[in-house]
Amino acid sequence: MNEFDMLTRFSADIRIQTIRALQHAGFGHIGGSMSIADVLAVLYGTEMRIRPTEPDWPERDYMVLGKGHCGPALYAALALKGYFPLDWLETVNRPGTRLPSHCDRLKTPGIDMTTGSLGQGLSAAAGIALGLRLEGLDSRVFCIIGDGELEEGQVWETATAAEHLKLNRLIAFVDENKRQLDGDVQAVCGGDLDEKFRSFGWHVSRVCGWDISAIQREIREASEQREAPSVIVLDTVKGIGCSFAERERMNHYMVVTKELADEAVDEIERRLAAGTYPVGEDA
């Protein structure tokens, strides 16, 4: 299997494991978990310097999931990489679980920062990037934030500070899935986010959110930046690759039954076989 096929399969497995995890929980943040499955596959598949059996390896690259409510997608990626057993995914959001709805660095191997209050993750990632520089390490800090999350003022405080401090090892992704809990981002509070970040002095690129090769290329380009922090905008669709979520406009948080999960998993396999994964024939 070549690298592209391996990453495609990995992203499909992240989707499948996430859908199954939310099926076991009965409900969850399906929409925003689906739209980051491909970037997670690229990061954990080929790009991040990590040791899954040594999650605290000091020289690792770091991941901060600013949109902490999409923890289940990251948990699926971590489990598939061997950070913890796959059957932990069946415990998502159950009492006593080590995989809570929002990311918790004290509970889950491989979670580098606790997140859930939007806007704080990018600041924490900038702090980690600064700390790594003080340590003399060239590790990168990846941070995935939501397009709705950009409404938080703290994001723009960090956009200012990270540029000022020349945190070139900070690489953010905006999951531009165009929807937030209450509806369309543009209807709630939108704007041209590429232009915003560019005006803050960041290295900005935009890719199709499920184009694995393009994501890989832009991560490598961002890693070459000598001064500017980078943001890679993932132009995507909320719920992408999960048939029952694709059908629902309000798919931020959904009930996930076994029937729906079975249907979605079958559809993922069908699209893979048909060469139309993840978006299907409608794309």
Partner 1 sequence: MKNKLFTALPDEKDMRDAYCDALIAAGEKNARILAIDCDLSASMGTGRFRARFPERSFNLGIMEANACSMAAGLSVTGFVPFVHSFAVFTSRRMADQIFLSCAYAGLNVKLIGGDAGVSAATNGGTHMAFEDFGVLRSIVGVRLFEPADNVAMRALIPKIADECSVDYIRMPRRSVVKIYDEGESFVPGEAKLLREGEDVTLIASGVLVSEALLAADLLAAEGIEARVLDCFTIQPLDIARVVESAEKTGCVVTAENHNVIGGLGSAVAEALGEHMPVPMERIGVRNSFGEVGSQAYLMDHFGLRAKDICSAAHRVIKRKQAMQ
198 counts as binding partner 1 under rule CB under 8 A = no
Closer CB to partner 1, 44 or 62, in the complex: 62
DSSP 88: G
128 counts as binding partner 1 under rule CB under 8 A = yes
State the number of binding residues for partner 1 (CB under 8 A).
34
β-pairing, 203-208 with 230-235?
parallel
Near partner 1 by CB under 8 A, which window of 108-116, 237-245, 256-264, 275-283?
A: 108-116
Q: How far is CA 233 from the centre of its chain?
A: 12
- Those residues whose C-beta lies under 8 Å from the C-beta of residue 72, and which sit 6 or more positions away, are 18, 21, 22, 25, 28, 29, 33, 89, 92, 99, 101
Q: What angle do CA 194, 46, 207 make, to 5 degrees?
A: 20
β-pairing, 230-235 with 254-255?
unpaired
125 counts as binding partner 1 under rule CB under 8 A = yes
* Cβ count within 10 A of residue 217: 15
32-71 footprint of partner 1 as x/- string (CB under 8 A): ------------------------------x-x-------
Element (H, E) at 142: strand 141-146
208 counts as binding partner 1 under rule CB under 8 A = no
Give the one residue of 61, 112, 147, 149 binding partner 1; rule: CB under 8 A.
112
Closer CB to partner 1, 70 or 214, in the complex: 70
Place of tokens 């497995």: 13
The answer to whether 169 and 70 are in contact (CB under 8 A) is no
Structure token pair of residue 204: 């900005």
Give the one residue of 54, 82, 160, 270 binding partner 1; rule: CB under 8 A.
160
Question: In angstroms, what is the minimal distance from the CB of 202 to partner 1?
Answer: 15
Question: In angstroms, what is the minimal distance from the CB of 65 to partner 1?
Answer: 13
Question: In angstroms, what is the minimal distance from the CB of 145 to partner 1?
Answer: 13
Near partner 1 by CB under 8 A, which window of 89-97, 149-157, 225-233, 252-260?
A: 149-157
Please report, as residue ranges, which positions from 129 to 148 form the binding site for partner 1 (by CB under 8 A).
129-132, 134-135
Closer CB to partner 1, 151 or 263, in the complex: 151
The answer to whether 85 and 101 are in contact (CB under 8 A) is no
Closer CB to partner 1, 134 or 273, in the complex: 134
Closer CB to partner 1, 157 or 211, in the complex: 157
- Those residues whose C-beta lies under 8 Å from the C-beta of residue 84, and which sit 6 or more positions away, are 78, 98, 108, 109, 110
Q: 28: alpha, beta or left, given left = phi > 0 and alpha = psi -120 to 50?
A: left
Closer CB to partner 1, 116 or 280, in the complex: 116
150 counts as binding partner 1 under rule CB under 8 A = no
Question: In angstroms, what is the minimal distance from the CB of 116 to partner 1?
Answer: 6
DSSP 242: -
Q: What angle do CA 122, 127, 128 make, to 5 degrees?
A: 95
154 counts as binding partner 1 under rule CB under 8 A = yes
Q: Compute the CA torsion angle 86, 88, 92, 96 (nearest 10 deg).
A: -170
Residues within the interface to partner 1 (CB under 8 A): 62, 64, 104-106, 112-117, 119-121, 123-132, 134-135, 153-154, 157-158, 160-161, 164-165
